[in-house]
Chain A
Amino acid sequence: MSITSLDKDYDNLALRIVLDFAHPLDAVWQLWADPRKLERWWGPPTYPATVEEHDLTPGGTVTYFMTGPEGDTHRGYLNVTEVIEGKSIEMIDGFAHDDGTPNAELPTTTMSVHLYDHDGGTRVEMQSTFDSREQMDQLVAMGMVEGIQEAAGQMDGILAT
């Protein structure tokens, strides 16, 4: 597998990743479709995820929590908006309160995943797009990315001295 590309699309506020797997499409699809597999890659190694509800159908919800090194838990959810079996998923990715209800205070992202056969393996195109949250989000998240990029070059010199 290799990350074929990873780029930040400032116009659309999106992080876009293209992956190429040497595995057949069915196996790659199971990374999302099988909750026991999803939880093995979703959280970072130090914050492993446990998937609870897993309804990968339009209107369905995936809920999970991640457990930190101190036993601390962080809940999140995926609201599934569109699914084409073995081909694509669109979902909204957000944080939840301890009781599992969505936390509207924290930003959400819309994630799309597209899979297709490519070169004897499977190509996955993923996109994460910041959603608007009140006045802030879309422009804000974009501004953060862009601002950092612009400022980074300037700051490198300063930090080096």
Chain B
Amino acid sequence: MLTYNQMVVDQWDDEGRVDHLFHALADATRRDILRRSVQGDLSVSRLAEAYPMSFAAVQKHVAVLERAGLVTKQRRGREQLVHTDPDAVRRAREALDHLESTWRARVDQMDLVLAGDAIAEEHTRAGHEKGQEE
């Protein structure tokens, strides 16, 4: 997991986003905004109607998502439309897959180490038996 973290951190640190990304995804409202903005046809005002909070509060959530690179805002007439960035979400999903594969790789290697032990023991035992015969 460390390795995975290190690599992910390295990767994201280049863009200065790792903290922002974690922070952005830590909130249920923001995750919901992310879901609703997949089509990219909702303005901040429309989004704000969906939550029992002020327009300013929703605007703040959108700003956090924007800073994390998870959404972009596009101006259309007088409105700002919020659009979830598929690349950012995909990258996050890949990171989770990576965490799992890190552990799977470790487990595979544990197996090799244990298999190596078993073979070595077999040799030692065979060696002993041979020694005893002589």
Q: Which residues of A contact B (CB under 8 A)?
A: 1, 3, 6, 15, 17, 19, 21, 23, 27-28, 30-31, 37, 40-45, 47, 66, 74, 76, 93-95, 106-107, 109, 111, 128, 136-137, 139-152, 154-155, 158-159
Q: Are B1 and A159 closer than 8 Å at their CB atoms?
A: no
The interface residues of chain A lying within 8 Å CB-to-CB of B89 are 148, 151-152, 155
25 of the cross-chain contacts (CB-CB < 8 Å) are A15-B1, A15-B100, A27-B117, A27-B118, A30-B117, A31-B113, A40-B113, A76-B2, A94-B2, A109-B2, A109-B5, A139-B26, A142-B26, A143-B31, A144-B21, A144-B95, A146-B31, A147-B25, A147-B26, A147-B30, A147-B92, A148-B93, A150-B31, A151-B34, A151-B89
Residue in contact with B9 in the complex, picked from A41, A106, A136, CB distance below 8 Å:
A106
Interface, chain B (partner A; CB < 8 A): 1-3, 5-6, 9, 19, 21-23, 25-27, 30-31, 34-35, 38, 84, 86, 89-90, 92-93, 95-96, 99-100, 102-107, 109-114, 117-118
Once the chains are docked, how many angstroms separate the CA of A136 from the CA of B6?
Answer: 17
Contact (Cβ within 8 A) A152 B93: yes
**A139: nearest residue on chain B (CB-CB)?**
B26
Q: How many A-B residue pairs have CB under 8 A?
A: 137
Smallest Cβ-Cβ distance to B118: which chain A residue: A23
Contacts A31-B114, A155-B38 hold; do A43 and B3 have CB atoms under 8 A apart?
yes
Question: Across the interface, do B6 and A155 meet the contact criterion of CB distance under 8 Å?
Answer: no
Task: Tell whether, in the assembled complex, residue B110 and residue A15 are in contact, meaning their CB atoms are under 8 Å apart.
Answer: no
Name A145's contact: one of B96, B102, B113 (CB within 8 Å).
B96
- A23 surroundings in chain B (CB, below 8 A): 114, 117-118
> Complex Cα distance A78/B96, Å?
22
Bound CA span A141–B95, Å: 12
CB-based nearest B residue for A147 = B25
Given the interface pairs A144-B22, A144-B26, A148-B25, the reply to whether A28 lies near B114 with Cβ below 8 Å is yes
A44 to B110, CA, bound (A): 11
